């Protein structure tokens, strides 16, 4: 233990020396920074400065040890472009107030790292209230600079001085943890365990360390927040506990009520609070932690305790209606900021997730082939590398313009990964924009230019809706379901079939609405007459939306195989012409004509070789092809089980006989 403390002291001394070396013989060492000095020219922005903006940044109120740390911290933030000069000037207006607070409450400290942060934050908030600063109903101060400054100090103390292994810290920087999956649109890389009671903090960190192997950082934060609610509750109820060994069913039942109230009627949140707690308790029980409850988890939380969420309607895919798309395209040029426009265009054209659009590289995102232009990139969620989708020349032109602009502005420092859409300065320098920038821009556009849905309500855009829209569009345009799956880089066809069901449902509803008003057709005298449903049952039309759900409707080279799913078939790749499940439409006439011509060549060759058996079998097959072709040329469908077998089940099959 003493060796560890000595090592920490050595590391701290090295860090202090690092600060002194940086500040030596540099403008940064001045106690007053004149922001209009030419020294700061590289740190200015093109934004107009606010009137009465403070021009000097004055550090003289702090004692010498604290002063050099704060100067170093701010200098590093400016150099790395994590913050803007205007932000520093805004925060510096609180320096005098903060210096007075430190001298009054912590006159003996020589470093920021010595501050007891939990107590320090509470005292700082009370100090501000006594000074007349107002808070809202959530306890947040209206002047963000007050809390922003101390958050800077806290983050600096953790990141700069704490050289321990990341898992040992109370705030993890997950960029230093190899397990967590971090999406490129994520802005916060920290997992903060300081809100947990110190008694349970290490236990929760051990659990998150285990979970980091297979969850994203975003989901890790969900787990942390859900468990925080439980541990704050149990610490309040049992403040003398050092572990969870005495946890009982009564504690859990009381927590259920507390969690339900905290969820404020949101079933999803209530469900998450309880399921995450259950997973945590099961983990420490299986791992035989000394802190685990003595009562088995199965006796603490029952399966029926976790509320059931209403099943989502899989057919209710949230795509953008055609009318809204038309309004969007009419007002596309009015999106602000303008650099959102090409991003929206690519969302619309590709159907990719926003994270995959933001993962495009300017030097590899376009590819030209003999067939045309392709958009190329990696699909992160399903790990499909170098995925390609075709794009039009117009879309290629837009992307090419963005590529040229990005190349001109990019350096190894501000865009090391060659991202197509990147931030060149600020906290996200070298990374893509936040996905919220696009949704906010679209919803501002909808509000300003009155983009409304069919009910006349202002439409609310979501980035992922463009993906749903593209999928439905591809299905509607008749693209093969497997091709749609490949386009969207889905892991399985089942995911893609969701969009096919949208098409089936919408078509069938439209058909039902039309049928409810009666079916009509022109008679031989060109007069309209009403017809009965039974009259249409044997017509040569396949209503794909009515195909029975238990059929294997597979497109074959010479027709559609519509065998029942339970019926075994050795192969659906070479259909048998005598099989009653083979359904062939006039669409396949070219294929049959091609097969007949091929067979003629084979028959001639067989005759020349004296192969009588081969000749006989080929002629027999050719005759079958010709029989089918004659039916198709009459504009009819060849399907032995007919319309009833395709579309009707049970009593529906007798509709034509009633």
Instruction: Name the residue ranges covered by the structural domains of the chain.
Output: 1-163, 168-310, 322-497, 534-657
The rounded distance, in Å, linking the Cα atoms of 44 and 81 is 10
**Rounded Cα–Cα distance for residues 99 and 62 (Å):** 5
| Per-residue pLDDT, 174 | 82
Cα–Cα distance, 374 to 222 (Å, whole number): 37
* Alpha helices (runs of H) in 586-656, residue ranges in sequence order: 589-609, 612-633, 642-647
Write down the pLDDT at residue 604: 83
Q: Are 340 and 441 in contact (CB under 8 A)?
A: yes
Which residues lie below 8 Å from residue 583, measured CB to CB, with a gap of 6+?
A: 542, 559, 560, 561, 562, 637, 638, 639, 646
Radius of gyration of the CA atoms of the chain, in A: 34
Cα torsion for 522, 523, 527, 532, to the nearest 10°? -70
Within 10 A of 136 (CB to CB), how many other CB atoms are there? 8
Least Cα distance to 390 among 499, 487, 493, 500 occurs for: 487
List, in sequence order, every residue forming a beta bridge with 157; answer none if it has no partner.
none
Q: What is 322-497's CATH number?
A: 1.10.443.10
| 58, two tokens | 């004055």
Structure tokens that stand for 94 in this block: 């609180």
At residue 658, the pLDDT reads 41
**If you ran DSSP here, which 8-state letter would residue 620 be given?**
H
Tokens read off for 597? 């011509």
Task: Tell me how far apart the alpha carbons of residues 140 and 387 are, in angstroms, rounded to a whole number.
Answer: 45
Q: Quick one: how many helices (H) and strands (E) in the chain?
A: 22, 12
At 64, list the tokens: 């010498």
DSSP lists the bridge partners of residue 135 as 141
The CA dihedral of 438, 439, 443, 448, to the nearest 10 degrees, is -10
Bridging pattern class, strands 366-369 and 190-192: unpaired
Q: What's the sign of the alpha-carbon dihedral 229, 231, 235, 237?
A: positive
Distances (CA, A) of 185 to 34, 435, 562: 36, 6, 45
Tokens 């060994």 appear where? 245
Q: What is the pLDDT of residue 572?
A: 43
pLDDT tens-digit map of 195-207? 899 899 999 999 9
Predicted local confidence at residue 588, as pLDDT: 83
Q: Which residues pair with 369 in a beta bridge?
A: 372
- Nearest alpha-carbon partner for 389 in 374, 367, 399: 374
3-state DSSP assignment of residue 416: coil
Tally of CB atoms within 10 A around 555? 14
Taking phi over 0 as left and psi of -120 to 50 as alpha, with beta for the rest, 331 belongs to alpha
32 phi, psi to nearest 5 deg: -130, 125
Q: What is the DSSP letter of 45?
A: -
In whole angstroms, how far apart are CA 595 and each of 598, 600, 629?
Answer: 5, 9, 11
Q: What percent of the chain has pLDDT over 90?
A: 21
Which stretches of the chain drop beneath a pLDDT of 50?
1-7, 9, 46-48, 50-52, 314-315, 507-508, 510-511, 514-515, 517, 519-522, 526, 528, 531, 533, 535-538, 544-546, 549-550, 571-573, 653, 655-658
Q: Read off φ and ψ for residue 365, nearest 5 degrees.
A: -80, -15
Q: Rounded to an integer, what distance in angstroms lies between the CA atom of residue 40 and that of residue 20?
A: 21
Distance CA 5, CA 547 (A): 74
């Amino acid at each position: 233990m003493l060796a560890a403390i000595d090592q920490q002291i050595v590391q701290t001394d090295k860090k202090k020396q690092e600060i002194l070396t940086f500040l030596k013989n540099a403008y940064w060492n001045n106690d007053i920074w004149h922001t209009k000095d030419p020294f700061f020219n590289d740190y200015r922005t093109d934004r107009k400065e606010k009137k009465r903006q403070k021009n000097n940044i004055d550090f003289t109120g702090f004692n010498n040890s604290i002063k050099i740390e704060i100067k170093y911290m701010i200098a590093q933030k400016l150099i790395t472009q994590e913050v803007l000069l205007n932000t520093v000037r805004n925060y510096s207006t609180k320096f005098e107030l903060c210096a007075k607070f430190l001298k009054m409450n912590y006159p003996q400290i020589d470093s920021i790292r010595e501050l007891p942060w939990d107590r320090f934050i509470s005292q700082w908030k009370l100090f501000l209230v006594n000074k007349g600063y107002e808070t809202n109903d959530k306890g947040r101060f209206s002047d963000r600079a007050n809390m922003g400054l101390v958050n800077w100090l806290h983050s600096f103390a953790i990141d700069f001085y704490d050289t321990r292994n990341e898992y040992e810290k109370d705030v993890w920087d997950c960029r230093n943890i190899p397990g967590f999956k971090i999406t490129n649109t994520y802005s916060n890389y920290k997992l903060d365990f300081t809100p947990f009671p110190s008694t349970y903090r290490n236990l929760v960190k051990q659990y998150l360390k285990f979970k980091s192997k297979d969850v994203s950082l975003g989901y890790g934060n969900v787990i942390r927040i859900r468990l925080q609610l439980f541990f704050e509750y149990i610490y309040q109820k049992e403040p003398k506990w050092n572990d969870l060994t005495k946890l009982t069913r009564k504690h859990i039942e009381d927590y259920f009520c507390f969690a339900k109230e905290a969820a404020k009627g949101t079933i999803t949140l209530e469900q998450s609070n309880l399921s995450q707690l259950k997973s945590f308790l099961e983990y420490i029980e299986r791992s035989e932690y000394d802190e685990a409850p003595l009562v088995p988890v199965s006796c603490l939380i029952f399966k029926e305790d976790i509320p059931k969420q209403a099943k989502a309607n899989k057919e209710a895919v949230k795509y953008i209606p055609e009318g809204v798309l038309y309004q969007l395209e009419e007002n596309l040029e009015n999106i602000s900021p303008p650099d959102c426009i090409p991003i929206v265009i690519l969302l619309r054209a590709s159907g990719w997730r926003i994270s995959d659009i933001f993962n495009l590289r300017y030097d590899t995102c376009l590819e030209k082939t003999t067939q045309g232009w392709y958009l190329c990139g990696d699909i992160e969620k399903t790990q499909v590398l170098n995925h390609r989708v075709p794009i039009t020349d117009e879309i290629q032109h837009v992307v090419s313009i963005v590529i040229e602009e990005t190349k001109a502005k990019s350096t190894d420092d501000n865009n090391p990964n060659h991202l197509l859409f990147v931030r060149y300065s600020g906290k996200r320098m070298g990374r893509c924009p936040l996905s919220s920038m696009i949704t906010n821009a679209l919803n501002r556009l909808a509000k300003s230019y009155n983009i409304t849905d069919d009910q006349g309500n202002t439409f609310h855009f979501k980035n992922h809706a463009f993906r749903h829209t593209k999928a439905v569009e591809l299905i509607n345009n008749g693209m093969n379901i497997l091709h749609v799956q490949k386009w969207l880089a889905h892991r399985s066809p089942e995911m893609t079939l969701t969009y096919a069901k949208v098409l089936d449902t919408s078509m069938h509803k439209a058909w039902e609405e039309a049928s409810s008003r009666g079916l009509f057709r022109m008679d031989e005298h060109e007069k309209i007459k009403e017809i009965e449903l039974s009259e249409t049952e044997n017509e040569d039309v396949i209503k794909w939306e009515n195909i029975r759900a238990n059929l294997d409707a597979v497109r074959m080279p010479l027709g559609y195989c519509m065998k029942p799913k339970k019926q075994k078939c050795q192969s659906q790749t070479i259909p048998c012409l005598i099989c009653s499940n083979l359904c062939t439409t006039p669409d396949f006439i070219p294929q049959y004509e091609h097969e007949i011509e091929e067979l003629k060549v084979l028959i001639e060759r067989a005759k020349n070789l004296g192969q009588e058996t081969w000749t006989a079998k080929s002629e027999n097959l050719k005759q079958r092809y010709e029989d089918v072709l004659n039916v198709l040329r009459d504009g009819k469908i060849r399907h032995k089980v007919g319309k009833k077998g395709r579309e009707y089940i049970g009593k529906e099959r007798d509709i034509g006989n009633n």
